[in-house]
């Protein structure tokens, strides 16, 4: 088995995909770092201060004013109210919600890339893991070996999981190294709050706990990793089912993008919460922002993702072991 995994890893490294992914992440992180830097700069200029309390207070007042507008929808109003109460809580407890520094950049980067960017990177590896064997014609060589088919597929799947872990690590390390040059490498111990509960009345702060940023980041990375594994498994299944890599990628891409769009408009379509793609933003539960559909929480989303994951895995193995290869 280890031989098989090693063999798959060898193929993966020979394809240089991980390096490509590293370069993509690096370039994007540079862009985001610059964008973030520009944003704080203009904000500082506009308000004439870099004092975070003043900026936060100003944001609170601005949000309050937006709330008083009669033209905004109830949904949006609720989300604004939740973020308002959260900001006020941070301010009342004298905690900066965005302590400047590379760790905060990583947090924001992860929160924004969990539902599209990281899954895309995973797809680059996962979507042709099996189908490329078909298109290159090597699948016959592979299957004529005296090894059981499920073992071959399992070795590919393990390789996928390892590659996903590497991608998350690359994302974390690169964003730390690159953003640190601008924002500084400190801030691991900065306090951050978690445990905000969204209830019908708005935000409940009774369970709020204080964490260090490094603890929070490790949890965030774990959640991102989980999402990446699930998305990777789904692409893996498509790669088994569809022989054309491009078609498999297209299907997955469509699903991911529709998820990003759906999350913004499904609030009234309740059964949409069983789609895997509206459940990808797990880090939002840690941060405490309103879920796209009422009643969703971390365990619900994780259960939905687990069911999709298990189904994808079963389908992959059943199809791969049963199918005729010619």
Partner 1 sequence: MVRLVTIIAALFFLLWLAGLGWAVSEYYAGKQDQVPKASEQKIEKAENKKGLTVVALGDSLTRGTGDETGKGYVGVLVDELKEKTKQPVQLTNLGINGQRSDQLRNQVGQTEVQRQIHKADVIVVTIGGNDLFRGGQGIIEFKNEDLTGIQTKYLENIKAIFEQIRNHNQNANVFFIGLYNPFIELGEGKEMSKVVRQWNYQSAEVSAAFPKIVFVPTFDLFELKVNDYLYSDKFHPNTKGYRLIAERVASLITW
The smaller minimum CB distance to partner 1, of residues 177 and 218, is found at: 218
| 277 Cβ contact partners less than 8 Å away, ≥ 6 residues apart | 115, 255, 256, 258, 259, 260, 262
Task: Name the β-bridge partners of 203.
Answer: 198
Rounded least distance, CB 151 to partner 1, Å? 17
Rounded least distance, CB 78 to partner 1, Å? 19
Rounded least distance, CB 100 to partner 1, Å? 16
The smaller minimum CB distance to partner 1, of residues 74 and 92, is found at: 92
Rounded least distance, CB 61 to partner 1, Å? 5
Judged by DSSP in three states, 67 sits in helix
Rounded least distance, CB 321 to partner 1, Å? 25
The smaller minimum CB distance to partner 1, of residues 80 and 262, is found at: 80
Using a CB cutoff of 8 Å and minimum separation of 24, what contacts does 207-213 make? 208/89, 210/95, 212/188, 213/99, 213/103, 213/104, 213/107, 213/187, 213/188, 213/189
Rounded least distance, CB 80 to partner 1, Å? 14
Quote the CA–CA distance of 104 and 187 in Å, as a whole number: 7
Residue 5 · residue 159 · CB < 8 Å: yes
Q: Give the footprint of partner 1 on this chain (CB under 8 A).
A: 5-6, 9-10, 13, 47-49, 51, 53-54, 56-58, 61, 64-65, 68-69, 91-95, 161-163, 165-166, 168-169, 191, 193-195, 207-211, 215, 218-223, 225-226, 285-286, 298-299, 302
The smaller minimum CB distance to partner 1, of residues 219 and 262, is found at: 219
The smaller minimum CB distance to partner 1, of residues 306 and 314, is found at: 306
The smaller minimum CB distance to partner 1, of residues 188 and 319, is found at: 188
List C-alpha distances in Å: 140 to 26, 135, 236, 326.
37, 11, 19, 8
Quote the CA–CA distance of 36 and 33 in Å, as a whole number: 5
The two three-digit tokens of residue 25, written as one number? 């992440």
């Amino acid at each position: 088995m280890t031989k098989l995994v090693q063999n798959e890893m060898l193929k993966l490294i020979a394809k240089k995909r991980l390096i490509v992914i590293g370069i993509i992440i690096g370039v994007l992180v540079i862009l985001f770092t610059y964008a973030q830097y520009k944003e704080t700069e203009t904000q500082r200029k506009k308000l004439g201060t870099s004092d975070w309390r003043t900026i936060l207070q100003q944001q609170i007042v601005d949000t309050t004013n937006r709330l008083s507008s009669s033209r905004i929808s109830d949904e949006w109003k609720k989300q604004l109210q939740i973020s308002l109460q959260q900001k006020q809580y941070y301010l009342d407890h004298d905690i900066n919600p965005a302590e400047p520094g590379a760790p905060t950049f990583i947090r924001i980067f992860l929160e924004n890339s969990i539902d599209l960017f990281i899954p895309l990177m995973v797809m680059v590896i996962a979507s042709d893991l099996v189908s490329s064997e078909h298109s290159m014609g090597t699948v016959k060589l592979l299957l004529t070996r005296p090894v059981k088919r499920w073992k071959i597929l399992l070795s590919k799947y393990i390789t996928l999981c390892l590659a996903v872990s590497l991608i998350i690590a690359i994302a974390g390390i690169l964003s730390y190294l690159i953003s640190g040059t601008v924002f500084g490498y400190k801030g691991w111990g900065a306090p951050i709050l978690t445990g905000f509960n969204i209830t019908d009345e708005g935000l409940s702060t009774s369970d709020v706990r204080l964490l260090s940023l490094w603890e929070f980041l490790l949890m965030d990375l774990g959640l991102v990793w989980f999402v990446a594994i699930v998305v990777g498994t789904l692409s893996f299944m498509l790669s088994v089912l569809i022989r054309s890599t491009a078609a498999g990628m297209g299907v997955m891409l469509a699903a991911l993008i529709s998820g990003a769009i759906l999350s913004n408009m499904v609030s009234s379509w309740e059964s949409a919460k069983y789609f895997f793609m509206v459940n990808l933003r797990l880090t939002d539960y840690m941060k405490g922002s309103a879920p796209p559909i009422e009643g969703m929480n971390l365990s619900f989303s994780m259960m939905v993702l687990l069911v999709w994951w298990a189904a994808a895995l079963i389908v992959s193995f059943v199809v791969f072991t049963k199918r005729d290869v010619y």
